[in-house]
Structure 1
Amino acid sequence: MAPNKTTELFRGNGTAEKAHTWLRNLELTWKWDAEEKEKLYRFEKGLHPGSQAEEWLEALDAKEKADWKSLMVAFENKWAKPKPTRRGQDIVIQELMANSLGHDDLGKYVKDEDGTSVLSHVAWAETTRNLLGELPGGDAEMMLKSAVRATLPVEFRTLVEDKSVKTWETYLKAVEDVQLDRIT
């Protein structure tokens, strides 16, 4: 039998984000159907001895650490869950406009965000998809289509079958589907 996964002990003197990252990592060491007693035990043993986190747990009322749900309420009162942050729409749009594909880059292999070797237009589509995903609503109405399309070389735009495209996903898929032999 393989040993259980382990996680660093929690000190409690970092940011709320680190606290919740530690908690998520701790939870990943459990079986999906872990019993409440096991969760409480592993939580307690996951605290660094003599740390602020251990002092906090010891100072809790018995009710606050009697069950997992109560303990999580107390945990979030101490280390509030971090709020998601979004970059401003203007910054994302600037990046969309800067994500251009030059004529000389067509037909070349580049590393995408995962480090995989892909054709440059496929990497362009991946980056564009990710940036659009940062916009509220993802530009569902495709208001930015002409501006984003203009970041592609003219000769490449003619290869993309986008006459009846109604969503960004179908447009970006059409860009990705352009074969190397059509580019060369």
Structure 2
Amino acid sequence: MKDLASMGINLMKKSIKIVAVLILTLSTSLFVLSIGARISGIYINTTPSLPVGFYKVVDEPILSGAYVAFCPPQGAVFDIARDRSYINQGNCPGGYGLLLKRVFAQSGDRVSIDQAGIFVNGEHLPNSAQLKTDAEGHALPQYRLQAALDDSEYLLLSDLNPQSFDARYFGLIARDQIQQVVRPVFTWSH
């Protein structure tokens, strides 16, 4: 009976080691793949803020409708977002990860942000109403703004996901925060 029990324990230990090696191999492979993609100018979006898929860096101007990659500015709202995992940790100042969002307003556009949502030049943007709390019940920032944007300001958000952490909570992004314009290469949602 003891031999049978010890054989079962040894089999379980071997199974756990095999699973651990498989997980480590898969994690390492994904990490290397993401580094290779980034070096080649490809971003992999896995969040529902934009269609999930691959985005390529392009040499185009930052215009309304463009997708952009940006480093969030350091501040309390992004510290909260990082700590609550709304955004990933990464290599941007403050330890924030690079974000991908779509440009919805730029220089000269009039923007209004309140709990009802975001209005650009008087037009209400879809899925832009602010939520009071996140899925865990934590209070969300309630950003307010009424302004005409200047040459260095952009409104970045997701019109696909009503739960996206975007301009409705952090406001405008300065031009110097935007790293690149990106274009979808292959997406499989929305």
TM-score where L is the length of structure 2: 0.25
**Higher fraction of strand:** 2
Name the structure, 1 or 2, with higher relative contact order (CA <8 Å, separation 6+): 2
**Higher fraction of helix:** 1
Q: Which has the larger radius of gyration?
A: 1
TM-score where L is the length of structure 1: 0.25
